[in-house]
Structure 1
């Protein structure tokens, strides 16, 4: 934090400290700055001293996990003291970031319990937008939306189709939809396996984003179709969205690291495009998005208008976190793909 900002916040922090009586909570790690087993006013004081002294980073002090210790973390700690609000350890997003997922929910709904399972999982993730693939039922997607609450809306690229289509679930608490989603590149239906890219124009915290949800053709033997889909998509972006903050995400059905690379139209333009999950693709199979046949097939691509933003990308290990006793239940009830997420810090 810059010294000038520290001085401006010092008065606010002092008021906060004077406003709270000594209080304690049960043992929990986040917020327990002095490591005495409780979260109370002493931790707030310690946290303020960390900020004012510009001390070394401390994980317990970074309550929103944004890599920065500042006034936001002071407020979060104060809220724990006052309201006993323990941080959600399963959350990927937060109200300090713009949070998106791509999630191929296989043959949705693939099981009678799929909707109920997702109703329990999605609120815990605390995300703003979920780009979905393989959604086979508008009625089932509407039921999931109703379970999630009035702050959620959904869109499906073809409401009348029984085919696994592209869709969106959107949490309106922090975002504004500027235009209903629309499909593009209909002249390339064969290359995209009749799943036309699905475009969403959205605003978060006064920043406009263009999101393109895709699902490339699967399987060996279709590499040329996937390559042609990449060529068509790159041409569209460079022609019509050259100054926009574009995020392309979805089930690309191919590897980022490959001898014959279907993503060359993007990889050959490193000044214009970047796959934010490239480190996942080149890393441990434990974090790949398609665990059943270990491979990483779900990707997130951004354009250079977003290069200077602060962001991070993760594979969400839903199978391990929500089904710890039998991870095969995740595949049985929900999908053979894990979601991959990106969050942009405000």
Structure 2
């Protein structure tokens, strides 16, 4: 067994075109030493050349090992993967969910760091999961994979990853999100094959909201980290709220948040003249969501005893 330490779990600002290098601190760019997981809703991402160029540039700076992406059209990330792999520093592979039309949940992962242990598929494919208001709980089914970290570890580390894009707040939708949370909790407790689980994506409501009571109850039992892992005060949507989150089971080998966690403060940029000037351009060519990144380090358990 390995110990995992969460080095940071923060929101990266969307780099504003030619200022990308200035807005992603060097110490927080992806490295060979850690496993970096990024979740990002790239708002209606289709394969338009200008957006491909911009998103590729941003991903080069974030340099994550696994991306959990939302609102991706089928095939839209293929050219981004091709461009990122041209450097020879990565060997990204992309897998798209099958539901959601042009706004699918998508995994993109670096074969140099991790491998998929089985086919990546959507959960709950043969079920009808209906909320109290009579509507399907999942407008897009969660994407699921079992992964193994093979780079820079003495022993390979296995974990399960679920990517979500839950019901939006348009038309309220809290009943669907609550039902989705109940279903995910049941899956963690009864269906997950590994005790180490990460759920990442666009939850479409801040961590403290009433629909997350199923998560709250599990967190109170010490079985997951959710509300404590996603500070409400850190916006991930440019409207000013935290919608994009990462949930981990507490079994992720006694995961802990390092006291040296670095918080990237972008408020003065997003509230200032620069953002006001480029707001519509950012929304149109990048996204209205910010990437959220967690960094994991690994060590043998007996080395810390």
Corresponding position of 2:235: 288
Distance 2:124 2:249 in 1: 19
Corresponding position of 1:300: 246
- Kept in 1, the 8 Å contact 2:142–2:165? The answer is yes
Q: 1:132 to 1:154 in 2, by over 3 A?
A: same
Q: 1:279 to 1:118 in 2, by over 3 A?
A: closer
Q: Gaps spanning 5+ residues in structure 2: where?
A: 1-6, 9-23, 130-134, 299-305
Distance 1:178 1:316 in 2: 34
Distance 1:90 1:188 in 2: 45
- Kept in 1, the 8 Å contact 2:73–2:104? The answer is yes
Q: Which of 191, 199, 207 is the aligned partner of 2:136?
A: 191
Larger strand share, 1 or 2: 2
Q: 1:304 to 1:230 in 2, by over 3 A?
A: same
Q: Which of 214, 221, 224 is the aligned partner of 1:265?
A: 214
Higher relative contact order (CA 8 A, sep 6+): 2
Distance 1:108 1:317 in 2: 26
Q: 1:266 to 1:242 in 2, by over 3 A?
A: farther
Give a deviation string over 1:245-289, Cα, whole Å, max 9, x none. 00001100112123xx111111112211111664521x2xxx310
Q: Which of 60, 64, 80 is the aligned partner of 1:127?
A: 64
Corresponding position of 2:77: 141
- Kept in 2, the 8 Å contact 1:315–1:340? The answer is no
Secondary structure of 2:184's partner? Answer: helix
Secondary structure of 1:244's partner? Answer: coil
The CA deviation at 1:136 is 1.6
The CA deviation at 1:103 is 0.5
Give a deviation string over 1:180-207, Cα, whole Å, max 9, x none. 2111123245534431110011111311
TM-score by length of 2: 0.73
Secondary structure of 2:185's partner? Answer: helix
Distance 2:67 2:192 in 1: 21
- Kept in 1, the 8 Å contact 2:50–2:285? The answer is yes
1:24-63 to 2 correspondences below 5 Å: none
Q: 1:316 to 1:133 in 2, by over 3 A?
A: farther
Larger helix share, 1 or 2: 1
- Kept in 1, the 8 Å contact 2:38–2:68? The answer is yes
Q: Does 1:95 align with 2:32?
A: yes
Q: 1:181 to 1:242 in 2, by over 3 A?
A: closer
Distance 2:96 2:29 in 1: 24
Corresponding position of 1:118: 55
Distance 1:333 1:133 in 2: 15
Q: 1:191 to 1:341 in 2, by over 3 A?
A: farther
TM-score by length of 1: 0.65
Q: Does 1:340 align with 2:300?
A: no
Secondary structure of 1:262's partner? Answer: helix
Q: 1:316 to 1:148 in 2, by over 3 A?
A: farther
Q: 1:144 to 1:276 in 2, by over 3 A?
A: farther
Distance 1:102 1:115 in 2: 17
Corresponding position of 2:161: 211
The CA deviation at 1:315 is 8.1
- Kept in 2, the 8 Å contact 1:177–1:201? The answer is yes
How many residue pairs get aligned? The number is 252
Runs of 4+ in 1 over 6 A off after TM superposition: 312-319
Q: Gaps spanning 5+ residues in structure 1: where?
A: 1-65, 68-86
Q: 1:182 to 1:315 in 2, by over 3 A?
A: farther
